[in-house]
Amino acid sequence: MTATRVTAGFWLMDLIALTDRGLYCEAGDFHIDPWRPAARAVITHAHADHARVGSDLYVCHKLTAPLLKKRLGDVAIETAEYGQVLSRDGVDVSLHPAGHVLGSAQVRVARAGEVWVASGDYKLEADGVVAAFEPVRCTAFITESTFGLPIYRWSPQAELIAAIESWWRDNAAAGRASVLYAYALGKAQRALARIDASIGPIVCHGAIEPISAIYRDAGVAIPPTRRADEIADKRAFAKMLIVAPPSAAGSGWLDRFGEYSDALASGWMQVRGNRRRRGLDRGFALSDHADWPGLLAAIEATGAERVLATHGFAAPLSRYLAERGVDARALATAYGDEDEAPKSETAPGETAA
C-alpha cells in the first residue's frame, strides 16, 4: 500500500479523505484521480490533470482506457462499464456518466449506507457525442467548480455550433482559412462531430488526429479529416477549417495557412475581455464543463447533505451554498483546467493547466 498523509481541514474519518496524493478511500485502499503516484488510481477521465503518470494500476471506464494508453503508455488498466459495481474490502465502487469527454465518469463510493460521489469534470447538456451526465444520489458530493460564478451561463450547443459554421462560411467566402482552437481531447472531437462538414474540407493539428481516431473507434461519427502537415500547397487551405489545440496560437505552425481568421472554443470566451487579451478574431463559449445553473442543478439532484467544491471558483460556489444552508466547503486540489484559463480567471489557490 502506498503511504498517504491526511491533509488538515478535511472531514476526518470520512469515507473519502484528502491526502498528499489526492482523494483517498482508506477502507478500499484506492485514490481517485491522484496527483502523485498511487497503488490503485480510480480515474474519472483522461485529461492530464486527472490522470497522471506513475500509478501501479488505473481503474476507469472502458472507453477511457485507450485514451490513457495513448497518454501514459503501456500502463496496467482495469476497466468497468457504467453502473458496474466493483467491490473491494466492503466498499462498492461504480462509475456513472459525467458528460464531459469520452468515457468520463463520476465515481460513486458506498459503504455501510454512506455514499460519496466524486464528480471529476462534468457538463449537464447532452452533446450527442459522449454519454450524457446522470445525477447520482449521495450523502456527500465532491463537485468541480471550473465555472462556478453566475456570469457563466452557456447558450445551447446548437446555437454555438451554428455560430461556428457561420464564421467558417464567411471566411470561406472571403478566401481565407478558419483556424479553430479547441482542446485536443474532447472539445475538438465534439466540434468535429457536430459541425456541418459539407461547408468544406477539414484539417487537424497532429495532436488532435490520434484522439479523433480513438473516438471513431468508439463509434463517434467524426467526418473525414487530414493532418495539416500532409498538405504542401498553402493555397489549398484558403477555405478550410483547421482545428488545432490552443497551444498552437501564435506559433510558427500557423504560417503555412496564409490568410486566416482564428477563434477559440472555450467557456472562458463568455468573458469578452479574454478574447481581446488573446488577440483572437472570435470566441465561442462552447464548454465541456457545467455552467453556474448546471452546477447548482447537479448539486441539488444529488440530494447531498455535504458538498465539497474543487478546482475552479470553489470558494464563491461553496460560500453561495453555505449561505443557503448547505454544509459546503472549498477544497484545494492539484487539478487544473484543460481549457487553459487566463490567469486572471483562476480562483485563489488553484492552478490552470
Domain boundary among 245, 264, 284: 284
Closest CA to 20 of 33, 41, 36, 39: 36
Q: Are 276 and 171 contained in the same domain?
A: yes
> What is the predicted pLDDT for the residue at 332?
85
Q: Is the predicted pLDDT of residue 65 greater than 90, yes or no?
A: yes
Q: Are 142 and 216 contained in the same domain?
A: no
Answer yes or no: are the C-beta atoms of 103 and 267 closer than 8 Å: no
Query: What band does 345 get if pLDDT is binned at 50, 70 and 90?
Result: very low
Domain boundary among 284, 303, 337: 284
Q: Is the predicted pLDDT of residue 11 greater than 60, yes or no?
A: no
Alpha-carbon distance of 206 to 209, in angstroms, equals: 6
Q: Is the predicted pLDDT of residue 9 greater than 50, yes or no?
A: no
> What is the predicted pLDDT for the residue at 338?
58
Q: Are 127 and 186 contained in the same domain?
A: no
Burial of 139: CB neighbours in 10 Å, binned 0-12, 13-18, 19+: middle
Angle between helix 157-173 and helix 187-194 axes, rounded to 10 deg: 70
Alpha-carbon distance of 299 to 323, in angstroms, equals: 15
Q: Which residue has the cell 457536430?
A: 194
- Backbone angles phi and psi of 49, in degrees to 5: -80, -15
DSSP SS3 for 97 = strand
> What is the predicted pLDDT for the residue at 118?
98
Burial per residue of 183-214, b for 16 or more beta-carbon CB atoms within 10 angstroms, e otherwise: bbbbbbbbbbbbbeeebbbbbbbeebbebbeb
> What is the predicted pLDDT for the residue at 268?
96
CATH number at residue 211: 3.40.50.10890
Closest CA to 241 of 302, 192, 290, 298: 192
Average pLDDT score, the chain: 91
CATH number at residue 51: 3.60.15.10
> What is the predicted pLDDT for the residue at 344?
35
Q: Is the predicted pLDDT of residue 131 greater than 70, yes or no?
A: yes
- Has residue 7 been placed in a domain? no
pLDDT tens sequence across 257-280: 999 999 999 999 999 898 888 899
300's enclosing H/E stretch is helix 292-302
Residues near 75 by beta carbon (within 8 Å), at least 6 away in sequence: 53, 55, 58, 68, 69
Q: Are 267 and 297 contained in the same domain?
A: no
Domain that holds residue 259: 157-284
> What is the predicted pLDDT for the residue at 337?
60
Query: What band does 336 get if pLDDT is binned at 50, 70 and 90?
Result: confident
Alpha-carbon distance of 319 to 305, in angstroms, equals: 15
Q: Cell triple for residue 35?
A: 496527483
Q: Is the predicted pLDDT of residue 327 greater than 60, yes or no?
A: yes
Q: Is the predicted pLDDT of residue 341 greater than 60, yes or no?
A: no
Q: Are 314 and 265 contained in the same domain?
A: no
> What is the predicted pLDDT for the residue at 7?
52
Alpha-carbon distance of 313 to 18, in angstroms, equals: 19
10 vs 314, higher pLDDT: 314
Alpha-carbon distance of 254 to 231, in angstroms, equals: 13
pLDDT tens sequence across 202-254: 999 999 999 999 999 999 999 999 999 898 888 889 999 999 999 999 999 99
Angle at 32 between CA 1 and CA 15, to 5 degrees: 80
pTM: 0.91
Question: Quick one: CA dihedral 30, 32, 37, 40, positive or negative?
Answer: positive
Q: Are 64 and 142 contained in the same domain?
A: yes
Answer yes or no: are the C-beta atoms of 166 and 282 closer than 8 Å: no
Q: Which residue has the cell 451561463?
A: 153
Q: Are 135 and 196 contained in the same domain?
A: no
353 vs 152, higher pLDDT: 152
Q: Is the predicted pLDDT of residue 129 greater than 50, yes or no?
A: yes
- Has residue 353 been placed in a domain? no
Q: Region 147-156: what's the mean pLDDT?
A: 98
Q: Is the predicted pLDDT of residue 4 greater than 60, yes or no?
A: no
Number of domains in the chain: 2
DSSP SS3 for 202 = strand
Residues of the chain with pLDDT > 70, as a percent, come to: 92
Q: Region 131-143: what's the mean pLDDT?
A: 98
Alpha-carbon distance of 132 to 98, in angstroms, equals: 7
Q: Are 29 and 148 contained in the same domain?
A: yes
- Backbone angles phi and psi of 30, in degrees to 5: -150, 155
Q: Is the predicted pLDDT of residue 12 greater than 50, yes or no?
A: no
Q: Name the region of 150 (left: φ>0; alpha: ψ -120 to 50; beta: rest).
A: alpha
> What is the predicted pLDDT for the residue at 92?
98
Answer yes or no: are the C-beta atoms of 105 and 95 closer than 8 Å: yes
Q: Are 205 and 266 contained in the same domain?
A: yes
Q: Are 339 and 315 contained in the same domain?
A: yes
